[in-house]
Structure 1
Amino acid sequence: MAAENKANNASNDPKKRKRCYLPHNKPVRKKGPSPIRPGVQGFFITCDGGREFQAAQEAINVIDSFFEELINGKESSSKVAVTLEKPINKKIKFTYSDSDEEENDDDNDEEEDKKSVAPPEDSGNNGSSVEKISDHADKAVQADEVGPGNGGSKDADKEPTEVKSKENEEPPEKKQCSDVKSSESGNTGVATTELSVDKLIEAELKELGDKTKRRFSKLDTGCNGVVFILMRRRDGDPSPTDIVQHIMESAASTKKHMSRFLLRVLPVELSCYTSDEEISRAIKPLVEQHFPADAETPIKFAVQYDARANTGIERMKVIDAIAKSVPSCHKVDLKNPEKTIIAQVVKTVCMISVVDKYKELAKYNLRELTS
């Protein structure tokens, strides 16, 4: 009896979890960010252990703000030039002042008509003034009768065309209504009106919700204290090295605290598998960009290597593979290098980049630069 009561109580308990069985021969979907893989660009970031989630959110905000600064800095000169061309003083018209302006215009027109029609004040010359007015009227009638081909004046030719154009034009309110109606009818030949603000906001929210369209997103490294931010680079965007260089220089100059959990922020220009052949093949375009073979003055460089969650590859093999790919005209200087080649190995992925002023900027450590 006791066993039956326990079984009944267990079946009636709503808090007890139901048994779940895995599907046969099907992979289990893992929740969270996708793992890091070769062929990606972005930012390799170290942080305090156990604070990876907070550091990832903070890193995205910091990188995005400095990315916008770089973009706006490039476009600032063109914006200033455009604004200077426009006049500074502008005439502002209000809807409630239209009636007042119309009344003032009518009064001015009436005064001008009176001045033009009124005879001169001299009472003695009334006859001569009447004759002059009649002569002017006769000349105006003759000018009207003469056509454009008979040597008529330009003003007489322009007046009828201007009147026709004014009659054909519609008032602004009618034009707006016709545009709205044409857009609602859905005719393909008519240009559609601009989207409203609500629709633009909805489109932007959809783009932010789609993870594949985000410019910066997080990838899972599988290591404690390490965060990787993926950058989907578009045409005209600055490289990760430019963004990190801008962050470090501003931090060194202002000494302003930018983050709470971030330590080192390193750019990643390329990534590949950790093997001698893969590294020497993938690093060729990066070496050609930073270390040209026909350089007049040799460039001093050094290789900085770190590995995490990987004990199967030797340290010197990776360093030799990177150093041999650099042309022989350039020299190795470990004390005062002009450029530093950074190689970060996480599991089976090697991430490589070339940076300037590595030691001068505290090895790209934000906390040391701002402290």
Structure 2
Amino acid sequence: MATDNNNNKKRKNHYRPHNKSVKKGLYPLRPGVEGFFITCDGGRERQASQEAVQLIESFLEELVEGKEPDAKPTIKPMNKKIKFSYSSSDSETDDDENGEKEQDKSESQPKDEQEDVKTEEENQPEKKQKCAETTVSINEVVKPKSVDQLIEAELDELKDKTKRRFNYLDTGCNGVVFVQMKKRGEKDPTPKEIAQRIITSAAATKRHMSRFILRVLPIELTCYASEEEISRAIKPLIAQYFPIEPQTPYKFAVLCEARANSGLDRMKIINVVAKSVPEPHKVDLTNPDRTIVVQIAKTVCCIGAVDKYKELAKYNLRQLTSSD
């Protein structure tokens, strides 16, 4: 009996993916998310995901600032004179001078005016209290946070994975990274806009942006990798990029790649996607205006639409920034 228990323990220890210990806190790719499907050098998935997040965040800030710059509310200063008493002697001299001036004014003014002035002075303490309350509230609003408090707030946000805008998701495939993007508002840029900005700027500047990233493909929907699920989930994406009554019909192509999934027929998936596009638009494999990207990783299908796929070196950053 003791030998059987020992054998069972040994067998349990052998069942590990890729003969490696499972990393804690790594979430798998699942249906219902959107983001970026990124290919990279094999074995450099962690470094590529970190580079991808930094790259995407920088271009996201550019897009947000270009479209809607952050207008911080400014508080107008109060047009009031403020006197500071630096010593007791100064305050005494000021009080004496003010007292003499008030006596001169009271002697020159008639009795009726003097009574009006007294009534105003009686009501002044209430006004002073109101002014003091307003100045205190304004000081509370204007008071900025210290650098340590800002750093602690950012660290708390980074630790809490639910508040992160971008998260790494494990695809289970070698050389593939998926970066999930969470939208915080309706006016946030889409993954397609961010990816297109990255690729076009790389093509224009020829500036190296990463060491390990190869292709950056925007993904706007994910579903289970089956013909029925793909035909059902792709309808809103087709309606968005391929309207039924367009001003100018688009020429399109379908790109389908599968990893760690040999049970699906690639041509059947391509036919399902192509048939979902309405008739005014035509298939053109040589020079398409838009390309529907279908990337299958194990049992999850990632779908997106890109413009000028072949002209921009298939969205490959390394080819766009290479000197050749």
State the TM bucket, normalised to the shorter chain.
0.7 to 0.9
SS of the residue corresponding to residue 49 of structure 1 reads: coil
Instruction: Describe the shift of the 1:316–1:167 C-alpha distance in structure 2 as closer, same or farther (beyond 3 A).
Output: closer
Partner residue, 1:275: 226
Give, in angstroms, the shift of residue 365 of structure 1. 0.8
Among 47, 51, 54, which residue is 1:54 paired with?
A: 47
**What whole-Å deviation, never above 9, does each CA across 1:279-326 have from its counterpart, x for those lacking one?**
110000101111111223212211112222222222211111001111
Partner residue, 1:31: 23
Q: Equivalences for 1:36-115 in 2 at 5 Å?
A: 36-76=29-69, 78=71, 99=86
Instruction: Describe the shift of the 1:338–1:157 C-alpha distance in structure 2 as closer, same or farther (beyond 3 A).
Output: farther
Q: Equivalences for 1:1-371 in 2 at 5 Å?
A: 21=9, 30-32=22-24, 33-76=26-69, 78=71, 99=86, 137=108, 140-144=110-114, 156=117, 159-160=120-121, 163-165=124-126, 168=129, 198=148, 201-236=151-186, 237-371=188-322
Distance 1:247 1:50 in 2: 24
Coordinate RMSD, CA, aligned? 4.4
Given residue 67 of structure 1, which amino acid in structure 2 is its aligned partner? L
Give, in angstroms, the shift of residue 170 of structure 1. 8.3
Distance 2:54 2:168 in 1: 12
Instruction: Describe the shift of the 1:169–1:299 C-alpha distance in structure 2 as closer, same or farther (beyond 3 A).
Output: closer
Distance 1:343 1:314 in 2: 13
**What whole-Å deviation, never above 9, does each CA across 1:206-228 have from its counterpart, x for those lacking one?**
33113333221222222221111
What is the count of residue pairs matched by the alignment? Answer: 302
SS of the residue corresponding to residue 235 of structure 1 reads: coil
Distance 2:197 2:190 in 1: 11
Instruction: Describe the shift of the 1:297–1:166 C-alpha distance in structure 2 as closer, same or farther (beyond 3 A).
Output: closer
Partner residue, 1:6: none
Given residue 164 of structure 1, which amino acid in structure 2 is its aligned partner? P
Distance 1:171 1:234 in 2: 39
**What whole-Å deviation, never above 9, does each CA across 1:226-275 have from its counterpart, x for those lacking one?**
11112233323322111111211222222221101111010111111222
Structure 2 residues without counterparts, runs of 5 or longer: 1-5
> Larger Rg: 1 or 2?
1
**What whole-Å deviation, never above 9, does each CA across 1:116-161 have from its counterpart, x for those lacking one?**
97xxxxxxxxxxxxxxx99x84x6224335x7xxxxxxxx598336
Given residue 218 of structure 2, which amino acid in structure 1 is its aligned partner? P
Distance 1:313 1:20 in 2: 36
Distance 2:149 2:111 in 1: 61
**What whole-Å deviation, never above 9, does each CA across 1:18-58 have from its counterpart, x for those lacking one?**
9994899xx99943422222222111111112212211221
Partner residue, 1:152: none
Distance 2:157 2:227 in 1: 40
**What whole-Å deviation, never above 9, does each CA across 1:168-221 have from its counterpart, x for those lacking one?**
46868x969xx99xxxxxxxxxxxx99876555444323311333322122222
